[in-house]
Structure 1
Amino acid sequence: MAQKRMSYEQADTLLYYLQTIPGVESANVYDRTADAAIRYSCPREVVIQALRSFHYDEVETPEGVIENSGRELNSRYQEKLINKILFHYGRKFLLPAPIRACYTTVMSAKYIWKGVKTLWRRKIEVPVLDATAIGVSVFRGDINTAASIMFLLGIGELLEEWTHKKSVGDLARTMSLNVGSVWLKQADGQEVQISANDVKLDDQLVIHMGTVIPFDGTVVAGEAMVNQASLTGESVAVRRAEGSSVYAGTVVEEGELTIQVKSVGGSSRYDKIVTMIEESEKLKSGVESKAEHLADRLVPYSLGGTALTYLLTRNATKALSILMVDFSCALKLAMPISVLSAIRQASTHKITVKGGKYMEAVSEASTIVFDKTGTLTKARPTVAKVVSFCEKSEDELLRIAACLEEHFPHSMAKAVVNAAKEKNLSHEEMHSKVEYIVAHGISTTIATKKVIIGSHHFVFEDEKCVIPEGMEQRFAELPEEYSHLYLAIEGRLAAVICIEDPLRPEARDVIKNLKKVGFQKIVMMTGDSDRTAKAIAAKVGVDEYYSEVLPEDKASFVEKEKSKGRKVIMIGDGINDSPALSAADVGIAIGDGAEIAREIADITIGADNLEEVVILRKISDGLMKRIHGNYRFIVGFNAGLIALGVAGVIMPTTSALLHNTSTLAIGLKSMGNLNI
């Protein structure tokens, strides 16, 4: 770029702009040198023309993109690392030995004090080992060894902190709220859909069941059960009524709320997610926790081995060799970095993982359960035809259906709304309060007439609606290859909307590949008729299928599988999948499905390609392989260093150097992408 200096904000603005150019596959912007590297598949002239027309002040970046980019964090830690290395070696070569000895002795007090505090709590853990190694070196006058230990420990801590914050930041950005539009309540009581960017303080928004609350606010009307798991980690929904506070990112599970907006900033949501990730035990997989506990459990043996070696040999140098080798550094550094790097790698494949333990569970899972609609079938089903059973026209019936369906997040509902948009059928709010019955349908009143739309079971069995006289033949001839939505007015069938729900082209191969990567049982569950379910199951090649199931049936199947000792993955996209997503060892939601499904799920995958499920399994298997490999290397390499030190082959300083260098090397290696 034609400028000498580039601020972090300018770099992030340029990067955002480059990523929006059609045909640009990836881009990097380097603020220090004011350069950009662009990978593109479009004609070169397109990129050049886009760069010619670029001006910083003309680019509108979404809220939070610049504030939470992580660029400043990386720069800050790079400077810290460079300063630490320069200061250490500058001190070593430029300061006289007495001053260097005084400085090292003073700095050692911090580590010794940590060790004393740990002992005071009656624990013999890693800080005790570090304090002993540094303290003994200072006491023996071996200032260089003490300084080297502290330097390498400091570098390790800095790298761990940097990697952790960067990984948490990357993860938080992928989990940050991305609300496109909201329902604004006007002064006359009407609801209108507007962009979330246009919302102002004190605006009143209507939050329907199954949708995310987009901003912090106060409830001014309505009552609902709100799931706050994304902020508190607590999955039990809490009641919210008039006067209660609600927070961005939480989800309305049941009921409906009207809230008054109290905060429109996107950064508060990001900060809350960062806090939740950092405080949550979700980030720790079982093997990661075991490694950390093992590190602390090995400390007494290291101290005991040191004492025993000194008693047997009366050689302080050999005894010190054991102290210099600390298993815990590598174990505690490599394991979390491996997990966070795997989560970051998954995010490059449009997979958002909320914690390491879920990747471990994916690796161990043997049963996988798919919802059909929007999961095995295309995420964007379409309306094939509308069959009228009354005097109203097909377009009028579609308009009524779209008016009801636009309030609720489900792939079938989106199909109806999109079909109305394509026909330019404006559907202003003409109904009273809309009630959504999970997994069944929608009920409302239009011009004093009761109108319902939903499944066959809901319309004909629960609501006892009837087919108009003389229309039985037309009903019997409904095309079987489509899924059906039934619209009834005043207890009489008014229309059947035929939804084309084509199978994803990759679905059959994905099922095949899932079997190859180790899944023993692949199940499909759907609320559709047995006829439709059977046809889809045969096409994709699942082991079992279940039709006409309710949400509780999916959840009870998951529980039954778990009771047999199997680890279960559930994949779904709708409100009706939420109980099963919660019940499974790992709940996976489709990216453009219902917001409540995405919030409750442990992992979210993009809607473009189901192959991401196979990639997720491969990354999870690769992570477990890396963790076990790291574990074996750390224990073997450090045990070898202890043996060589006790045998007098290498000096304590060499042990410390080799141990800390291997720790940093394995930490850096763990940052790299897994081979999948």
Structure 2
Amino acid sequence: MMPYQIERLAPGRIKLFSFLFRHLHHPKETVEGYFARFKGVKRASYSRVSGKLTLEYDPNTFDLVDFLSRLEETSREVFLEDLSRERPKEAKEKTEAQRWLTLATLGFIPYLLRGMVPNPVLAGVTLLLAKPIFRKALNSLREKKLDVHFLDSSAILLAGLSGSPFSAHTVVFLLALGDYLSERVERKAYAQIEKLFSYREDMAWLITGNGQALRVRAIELKKGDLIAVYAGEKIPADGVVYDGEALVNQASLTGESNPVHKKVGDKVYAGTFLEEGKLYVQVESVGEETVVAKVVHIIEESVKEPIGLQKKAEETANRFVAPTIGLGLVSLALSGQPNRLTSTLIIDYHTGVHLTTPITILSHVAHLSRFGILVKSGSKLERLSKVDIFVMDKTGTLTIGSPKIEDLVGLEASEEEVLLYSASLEQRLTHPVARAILKLAQERGMELLPRENSQYHIGLGIEGDIEGVKYLLGSTRLMQRKRIKIDPQVRELVDRYHSEAKSVLYLVRNRKIIGLVTFRDPLREEAKDVIAELKRRGKRVILCTGDNEGIAGYIARELGIDEYYSRVFPAEKAQIVERLKKDGRVVSFVGDGVNDSPALSVSDVGISLRSGTDIAIEVADVVIGDSLWHLVDVMDGAESAIERLRLIYGTNSLINTVGLIGSAVGLVSPTLSALINNGTTVLLSLFAIKKPKRR
């Protein structure tokens, strides 16, 4: 089933929205050609950025009910396969913008025979070629909007009907040229994204039941297939290494150019490159379900909605439509020259803003993705440029997220028993401390005991029955909640461990503490330098951790953090963020665990490390690589994008204002006016797509 929404329905016209339309990786003309083949469809218009498809059809021959039923019943896989089959043929065809530009160019031929062809005929040819502009203006009027399309249509009609058909035709030609160049720029912006999906055009070696390698297309692979990948080939699907070992370059996903050693049990990803060795891979995800597909979807989602800066600029531009018309009419009344009104109507501020903003955002988001940084929306990129406070979790963010067990302390049990019962309680749990305890038990060859009636207390610990006895493993706060008595000598021992920046877990049997487990999570090598860089830029950094006062204070001092909160529950982290926001601050929370998801959700910009939990990555607005320096990189990217947009908007306003004034006083002809307006848009679009510089 292919889900869709009907956004607008009128006689002979329907506009549909579908999330799938935003996630297609086929040329625009391929999608339009696919839907134009339905009987009765006169024209199909598709926009990947908005995820919308508009069909103009003949109500007498087009069966709307049947079309919608077929659309609903067609599976996503069948639809994508149909588009893939069409792609080679459609790619050879000219796009609509190319066709319009070609016709507009040929339209100059009658003007070479001007002495033989009367003006009314020339005007008729020009007005016929201006049909795409009139159609856009009509659609805008249907939606009760007075915009640039209305201005362009009015200017062409006025010039054509007032004895200046050549000026009108030049305007049509320049608009067609502007459309074509803008489409080329947009295609170039998406070209980098298309490269990520190039593996889908590749072939794969499918291992059959009798052990033979069969050559198949990558898009034909299914979950559970066994494939072989050789040196020099791209991996065609996500999966797990079944046999073999190799060096795999994952730069397309992580930005890290050094190849990664892959062996049995390791995960590999579609679109990455096998440099050396050979792998047999059990396929887990294909097509739209692969990691690289999700990365592409995130990049495309980033331009889904206009950012705040764009909204303000477009609102200002639209407010200039009526004054522009008024200025043109005044100029006409004072001079009696229709060309002045025509020239004035051609100038607009909106097109430059509307076309360059998504290209700028897409360019920066795609650039950041090459370094393993994913930004899920342009609005969050804009918001990130304004962040003045970073609230940072400790575990997995400022530390490496792989705690090491330091001490096993037997109080009323042996050290071996402390490890055995702790590991038995933690079995099947996946948080970092549980993994560290289980790893140590495995290294010592321990056979874990069955755990029953277990209850996990998020951020505090776990309790359960082992051999019919109630056990508890957790923090000081869990001891307080369960009213477990901590003897003074035990408390003194724990305080000493805390002064050494070690965290402590209490092992309890039948409400009596029988042992301690201490661990320490090493700080990231880059953490101190990154914190210093954030502070140098005037950012306020706050540590927010569930650890006790001793450990929190020690970490803060080590990293040069002036403010910190200790013994903070997950809900309290979110409350701290909310409180800072109420003070008028723009707050980013940086974390990577399940405990961090509430704070990530309520912050202005939630940032998670790629090594974090699935839920943290899902909730976060920005996902960075496994290095805090990416935090600085994404800030640079955000500031670069907004600086570039401000420069584009300012240049667009300045040049068009000069053109508007020149048109009103008669210094700028309609031809020059069109050249100024459309030339500015094209040049600014080329600047928008320019690769951002790393600071």
**TM-score category, normalised to shorter length:** 0.5 to 0.7
Contact 2:420/2:448 (8 A) holds in 1: no
Contact 1:104/1:146 (8 A) holds in 2: no
> In structure 2, do the counterparts of structure 1 residues 583 and 495 end up closer, same or farther at CA, with 3 Å as the change threshold?
same
Q: 1:347-380 deviations in whole A, cap 9, x for unaligned?
A: 2332211112212222212221111122112232
Residue 485 of structure 2 corresponds to residue 493 of structure 1 = no
> In structure 2, do the counterparts of structure 1 residues 659 and 146 end up closer, same or farther at CA, with 3 Å as the change threshold?
closer
Larger mean CA deviation between 328-337 and 348-357 belongs to 348-357
Residue 681 of structure 2 corresponds to residue 663 of structure 1 = yes
Residue 237 of structure 1: aligned partner: none
Q: 1:182-233 deviations in whole A, cap 9, x for unaligned?
A: xxxxxxxxxxxxxxx99769xxxxxxxxxxxx9xxxxxxxxxxxxxxxxxxx
Residue 553 of structure 2 corresponds to residue 531 of structure 1 = no
Residue 101 of structure 2: aligned partner: 88
1:417-428 maps to which residues of 2 (within 5 A)?
Answer: 417-421=438-442, 423=443, 425=445
AA aligned opposite 2:183: L
Residue 281 of structure 2: aligned partner: none
Residue 16 of structure 2: aligned partner: none
TM-fit CA distance, 1:382: 2.0
Residue 145 of structure 1: aligned partner: 170
The 2-side partners of 1:198 and 1:383 are apart by 42
Contact 1:386/1:498 (8 A) holds in 2: yes
Contact 1:591/1:605 (8 A) holds in 2: yes
SS at structure 2 position matched to 1:592: coil
Residue 590 of structure 1: aligned partner: 609
The 1-side partners of 2:138 and 2:104 are apart by 28
Contact 1:156/1:333 (8 A) holds in 2: no
Contact 2:298/2:375 (8 A) holds in 1: no
The 2-side partners of 1:535 and 1:276 are apart by 38
TM-fit CA distance, 1:621: 1.8
AA aligned opposite 1:547: S
The 1-side partners of 2:522 and 2:373 are apart by 24
Residue 647 of structure 2: aligned partner: 629
Contact 1:552/1:579 (8 A) holds in 2: yes
Contact 2:299/2:365 (8 A) holds in 1: no
Residue 632 of structure 2 corresponds to residue 614 of structure 1 = yes
The 1-side partners of 2:197 and 2:516 are apart by 43
SS at structure 2 position matched to 1:284: coil
Query: Which of 575, 596, 605 is the matching residue for 1:556?
Result: 575
Q: Identity over aligned residues, as a percent?
A: 28
SS at structure 2 position matched to 1:373: coil
Residue 314 of structure 2 corresponds to residue 292 of structure 1 = yes
Larger mean CA deviation between 548-557 and 302-311 belongs to 302-311
Contact 2:508/2:514 (8 A) holds in 1: yes
Query: Which of 270, 291, 308 is the matching residue for 2:330?
Result: 308
> In structure 2, do the counterparts of structure 1 residues 90 and 112 end up closer, same or farther at CA, with 3 Å as the change threshold?
closer
Residue 251 of structure 2: aligned partner: none
TM-fit CA distance, 1:656: 1.3
AA aligned opposite 1:549: V
The 2-side partners of 1:90 and 1:120 are apart by 27
RMSD of aligned alpha carbons: 4.2
Q: 1:604-630 deviations in whole A, cap 9, x for unaligned?
A: 1112x2122222222222222111111
Residue 133 of structure 2 corresponds to residue 111 of structure 1 = yes
TM-fit CA distance, 1:541: 1.2
> In structure 2, do the counterparts of structure 1 residues 462 and 277 end up closer, same or farther at CA, with 3 Å as the change threshold?
same
Residue 248 of structure 1: aligned partner: none
SS at structure 2 position matched to 1:499: strand
AA aligned opposite 2:344: I
> In structure 2, do the counterparts of structure 1 residues 510 and 282 end up closer, same or farther at CA, with 3 Å as the change threshold?
farther
SS at structure 2 position matched to 1:295: helix
Larger mean CA deviation between 556-565 and 312-321 belongs to 312-321
Residue 503 of structure 2: aligned partner: 483
1:363-512 maps to which residues of 2 (within 5 A)?
Answer: 363-391=385-413, 393-394=415-416, 397-398=418-419, 400-402=421-423, 404-405=425-426, 407-421=428-442, 423=443, 425=445, 430-432=450-452, 434-458=454-478, 460-465=479-484, 478=497, 480-481=499-500, 482-512=502-532
SS at structure 1 position matched to 2:451: coil
> In structure 2, do the counterparts of structure 1 residues 650 and 72 end up closer, same or farther at CA, with 3 Å as the change threshold?
farther
AA aligned opposite 2:451: H
Contact 2:418/2:516 (8 A) holds in 1: no
Query: Which of 561, 571, 574 is the matching residue for 2:593?
Result: 574
Gaps of 5+ in 1: 1-8, 10-63, 174-196, 202-213, 215-262
SS at structure 2 position matched to 1:374: coil
> In structure 2, do the counterparts of structure 1 residues 640 and 71 end up closer, same or farther at CA, with 3 Å as the change threshold?
farther
The 2-side partners of 1:517 and 1:81 are apart by 50
1:322-401 maps to which residues of 2 (within 5 A)?
Answer: 322-391=344-413, 393-394=415-416, 397-398=418-419, 400-401=421-422
SS at structure 1 position matched to 2:407: strand
Query: Which of 144, 154, 179 is the matching residue for 1:122?
Result: 144
TM-fit CA distance, 1:304: 2.2
> In structure 2, do the counterparts of structure 1 residues 455 and 391 end up closer, same or farther at CA, with 3 Å as the change threshold?
closer
Contact 1:590/1:605 (8 A) holds in 2: yes
Gaps of 5+ in 2: 1-24, 26-76, 111-116, 199-220, 226-237, 239-283
Contact 2:507/2:514 (8 A) holds in 1: yes
SS at structure 1 position matched to 2:523: coil
> In structure 2, do the counterparts of structure 1 residues 141 and 363 end up closer, same or farther at CA, with 3 Å as the change threshold?
same
Q: 1:64-118 deviations in whole A, cap 9, x for unaligned?
A: 9xx99x9999999997789955883587369853899877543422321321232
TM-fit CA distance, 1:454: 2.5
The 1-side partners of 2:527 and 2:488 are apart by 42
The 1-side partners of 2:93 and 2:688 are apart by 21
Residue 604 of structure 1: aligned partner: 623
AA aligned opposite 1:430: P
Aligned residues: 524
> In structure 2, do the counterparts of structure 1 residues 294 and 426 end up closer, same or farther at CA, with 3 Å as the change threshold?
farther
The 1-side partners of 2:94 and 2:414 are apart by 73
TM-fit CA distance, 1:156: 5.2
> In structure 2, do the counterparts of structure 1 residues 646 and 621 end up closer, same or farther at CA, with 3 Å as the change threshold?
same
1:273-288 maps to which residues of 2 (within 5 A)?
Answer: 283-288=305-310
The 2-side partners of 1:273 and 1:615 are apart by 18
1:220-235 maps to which residues of 2 (within 5 A)?
Answer: none
> In structure 2, do the counterparts of structure 1 residues 543 and 149 end up closer, same or farther at CA, with 3 Å as the change threshold?
same
SS at structure 1 position matched to 2:607: strand
> In structure 2, do the counterparts of structure 1 residues 318 and 282 end up closer, same or farther at CA, with 3 Å as the change threshold?
closer
Residue 542 of structure 1: aligned partner: 561
The 2-side partners of 1:266 and 1:617 are apart by 32
Contact 2:574/2:602 (8 A) holds in 1: yes
**TM-score in terms of structure 1 length:** 0.67
The 1-side partners of 2:640 and 2:90 are apart by 28
Higher Cα radius of gyration: 2
The 2-side partners of 1:392 and 1:514 are apart by 47
The 1-side partners of 2:446 and 2:86 are apart by 48
SS at structure 1 position matched to 2:149: helix
The 2-side partners of 1:170 and 1:456 are apart by 52
1:238-249 maps to which residues of 2 (within 5 A)?
Answer: none
Residue 667 of structure 2: aligned partner: 649
